[in-house]
Chains A and B, each alone.
Chain A
Amino acid sequence: MSLARRIIPCLDTDGERVVKGVNFVNLRDAGDPAALAARYNIEGADELVVLDIAASRDHRPTFLETIRRVAAELAIPLTAGGGVANVDEGRAILRAGADKLTVNTAAIRSPALLTALAAEFGSQAVVLAIDAKRVGDRWEAFVRGGSVPTGMDAVAWARQGVDCGAGEILITSMDKDGTRSGFDCPLTAAISRAVSVPVIASGGADTPETFLEVFSEGRADAALAASIFHDSIQGLGDLKRYLGQQGVPVRQTG
Chain B
Amino acid sequence: MNIALVEYGAGNLPSVERALSRLGVESRRASTPQALAGCDALILPGVGHFGALMRSLGERSLVDPLREAVSRGTPLLGICLGLQAMFATSDEAPGDEGLAMFPQKVSALPPADRLPHMGWNQLRRARPSKLLEGVPQDAYFYFAHSYAALDAGEAGVAYCDHCASFVAVLEQKNIFATQFHPEKSGPVGAQVLSNFVRQAGAKG
Contact = CB atoms under 8 A, between A and B. Distances in A.
A77 B116 contact: no
A17 interface: no
Contacts of A100: 144
Contacts, number: 93
Nearest to A95: B14
Interface in A117-134: 121-125
Contacts of A97: 14-15
Contacts of B113: 3
Interface string B1-31: 0000000000010110011001000000000
Interface string A232-254: 00000000000000000001010
Interface residues of B, number: 38
Given A99-B144, A121-B48, A196-B114, A75 B185 contact: yes
B144 A198 contact: no
B111 interface: yes
Contacts of A196: 111, 114-115
B120 A125 contact: no
Contact of B186 (A6, A125, A221, A253): A253
B15 A122 contact: no
Interface core residue of B113, B115, B140, B160 (most chain A CB under 10 Å) = B140
A251 B120 contact: yes
B140 A251 contact: yes
Contacts of B162: 2-3
Contacts of B18: 71-72
**Interface SS, B side:** mixed
B120 A122 contact: no
Nearest to B186: A75
A222 B119 contact: yes
A237 B144 CA distance: 24
B144 A71 contact: no
A168 B115 CA distance: 9
Contacts of A77: 142, 144, 181, 184
A222 B119 CA distance: 9
B120 A46 contact: yes
B187 interface: yes
B193 to A, nearest CB: 10
Contact of B116 (A1, A6, A123): A123
Nearest to A197: B114
Interface in A147-186: 167-168
B187 A75 contact: yes
Interface string A1-29: 11110100000000000000000000000
A180 B123 CA distance: 36
B195 interface: no
23 contacts: A1-B123, A1-B124, A1-B161, A2-B161, A2-B162, A3-B119, A3-B162, A4-B119, A4-B120, A46-B120, A75-B187, A75-B190, A76-B184, A77-B181, A99-B15, A99-B47, A121-B47, A124-B47, A124-B118, A168-B118, A198-B119, A221-B119, A251-B140
Interface of B: 12, 14-15, 18-19, 22, 47-49, 111, 113-124, 140, 142, 144-146, 160-162, 181, 183-187, 189-190
